[in-house]
Chains A and B, each alone.
Chain A
Amino acid sequence: MIRILENEHYQRGVYLAGKLILWFILLLGVVITVFPFIWSAMLSTHDRSTMFSSTLTLQLSDQLVNNYHQLQQIMPFWNAMFNSMKVAGLGTLFSLLFCSMIGYALAVYQFRGRNVIFTVMICSMMIPPVLTLIPYFMVIDALGLTNTHLAVWLPFTISPFGIFLIRQYVVASVPRELLEAAKLDGASEFRTYWSVVLPLLRPGLATLAIVQFVMLWNNFLHPLVILNSREMQVITQVLRSVQSIPNTPWGAVMLGTTLSILPLLVIYLLSSKQMISGLTSGAVK
């Protein structure tokens, strides 16, 4: 028995079997997670009369072109996509800047009010957004920002998620000695942050970029009350606006939905490269 266990072929067999099971599980996970995405792409080739079925239909239909025409007819699709890009893009850029500044300060400086700010920030995540909608609209209205894109990205650039993430990232990855060294070299505080700390934060910033972009892109509640002209509306809004129980052109909606996810995927793929720039697989193996 022991001889068998020590047999090289046997060990190799166990190793291969383990690897096979591992890959089976990993790929099963892929099927479960990717499927809805593929499926919604498939549905965009259907017409609503062939789309709904309580059994899974895995057939392509021939309505793609029609759906695309209909999509452009019922909503300013590309205009709304552009608006969403603008809102999510600007919002993400500024939150990268703001969250990294704030998170960095919370991580490295001792100052009066630090714990208060941190606590307020954590607490502000706990307030349900469905209820602050009315007072939020009042603020926007009082500032004269109704129907502006600024109102749907600026307030979200100080995302508690992002600040907290960066704070943790700095704590975990920026050695104190490095900051001391920068100080001895005569670098100003802002310069230290900009040229020493930020490059180290790349994977964290990439993560923040993805999450923040997705959040801003999918935000719906705030645009709903703030953006009230067709040419200003964002993609989530126009896609939802044509959905009602009666007469929804589901084929066009599914196509629009699928297309509207693609920018998120692109952003993810771009940031993913940055995110794992700090990782080299060899060492962990």
Chain B
Amino acid sequence: MKLKTTAGLALASFGLTVGAMAADIRIDGFPDYDSQLNRILPAFEASTGHKVSQLMNNHGDHHNKIATNLATGQGAGDVVLIDVGFVGSFVDQGGFVDLTDRFAPHASNYAEYAVLQGRGGDGRQYAVPVDLGPGVIYYRRDYMEDMGYNLDEVMASWDSYIAYGKELKEKHGVLLIGNAAAIAAAYINFNVEPGNGLYFDADGNSMVTSPRFVRAFELAKQVRDAGLDGNISEWTEDWYEGFKNGTFATQMSGAWLLGHLQNWMAPDTAGMWGVSHLPGGIYGSWGGSFLGIPRQSSNPDAAWALIEHMISADNQLAGFQNIAAFPAHTGTYSDSSFDEPIDFLRGQQARQMFAEIAENVTPVAPHRGDLIAQSLVIQTALEQVLNDGVPVMTALRTAEAQIRRRVR
């Protein structure tokens, strides 16, 4: 009898260990997530017994590698980090584990629009948001209130914003923005009509000749023609120089630009900056990342445990501190750190604004043709309009014809 009990106990404990067997898993991602993982993984490994290795590649390489892995069903990590730009095309193709049931108890804690972005066409959750990029506009305070302009009046609408740019140029010789293309991109991305996608309506028809696109292109063209932008490409030496020297007065971006500005792009300009909603008070997101588990993973349970760890409120806050990844977990927004004034922004409590934006972004349904449309519209067509003087409607019609052919 005694023997039997011992055997039974041994069996039971054996069963237990199998259930929570420690696993070796790998997370594939891109920098700066390694900095965050290095800090939060030890606790995870200690509490679960899983061992986690990391494979970081630069942003573009990482996504190419993941595409190869998904194509062949081999070689992907157990957890993969996916940029929001790829989420629509990657997760809805059957290569990822359905996380709906696992995520269901948590879903309401995360920014709604981002949660919806991680869903496939079938309404199932294939990726969960880990950080967000609330869309904002950074502006130079020394060209705004210090020169007697009123921020609210300037940002009231796109027209008032451009009028401000004209005055800046005439009176002070300052440019409004580094590149007019950003204006068109912002307008297109943040004025999506309810029910429609970015480039396609609910029925999958291209919308790129609709008034939203025409207006966006015209705004950008107006700025370019009036000489209010520098035709400076983003992430170039000229761009960094522009921030340092105050060549231009505003820059649209995700909230995350703040970290770069104060850390290395223009640390000497502390106190000269402020951040605002985009003109017309529109809400939108500019960047963000997701986590998913490829179906080829042999340890989906351990992988999910890691995801849970990464999106927990504490680690979301840690990520905000460590790598300025804006939390997707809305519960973190009540943390006292969100009230801190930011010296670089002349004491502005900017994080509250970021949080407000994150909670109010209208969800936009992804479409499998988004990447195609984006490069044809935002890159090719816009460039033709701004640089080569092609009429707006001609460029957009050409783009639409191309989209029709390419999105199959």
Contact = CB atoms under 8 A, between A and B. Distances in A.
A137 B58 contact: no
B270 to A, nearest CB: 13
Interface string A239-261: 01111111110000000000000
A110 interface: no
Contacts of B238: 54
B134 to A, nearest CB: 16
A242 B56 contact: yes
A146 B64 CA distance: 17
A54 B240 CA distance: 8
A247 B53 contact: no
Interface string B223-240: 000000000000101101
A224 interface: yes
Nearest to A239: B58
Contact of B31 (A52, A228, A242): A242
A76 to B, nearest CB: 12
A33 interface: no
Nearest to B28: A228
A245 B263 CA distance: 13
A86 interface: no
B72 interface: yes
A265 interface: no
A214 to B, nearest CB: 20
B57 interface: yes
Given A49-B264, A242-B31, A228 B75 contact: yes
A230 interface: yes
Interface string A219-241: 00000110011100000010011
Interface string A121-165: 000000000000110011001000010000000000000000000
B72 A248 contact: no
Nearest to A135: B72
A72 B53 CA distance: 18
A224 B57 CA distance: 8
Contacts of A138: 72
B106 to A, nearest CB: 26
B323 A247 contact: yes
B260 interface: yes
Interface in B37-92: 53-59, 61, 64-65, 68-69, 71-72, 74-75
**Residue among B58, B65, B259, B260 with the highest chain A CB neighbour number at 10 A:** B58
Given A224-B64, A241-B58, A241-B61, A141 B75 contact: yes
A281 interface: no
Contact of B237 (A52, A229, A245, A246): A52
B32 interface: yes
A53 interface: yes
A240 B57 contact: yes
A53 B241 contact: yes
A241 B56 contact: yes
B31 A146 contact: no
A244 B53 contact: no
Contacts of B32: 244, 246-247
Given A49-B264, A49-B267, A225-B75, A245 B235 contact: yes
22 contacts: A49-B264, A49-B267, A52-B241, A53-B240, A53-B241, A133-B68, A134-B72, A138-B72, A141-B72, A146-B74, A225-B68, A228-B55, A229-B53, A230-B54, A241-B61, A246-B31, A246-B256, A246-B323, A247-B32, A247-B35, A247-B259, A247-B323
Interface of B: 26, 30-32, 35, 53-59, 61, 64-65, 68-69, 71-72, 74-75, 235, 237-238, 240-241, 256, 259-260, 263-265, 267, 323-324
Closest 3 CB pairs of A and B: A244-B31, A54-B241, A54-B237
Interface of A: 48-49, 52-54, 133-134, 137-138, 141, 146, 224-225, 228-230, 237, 240-248
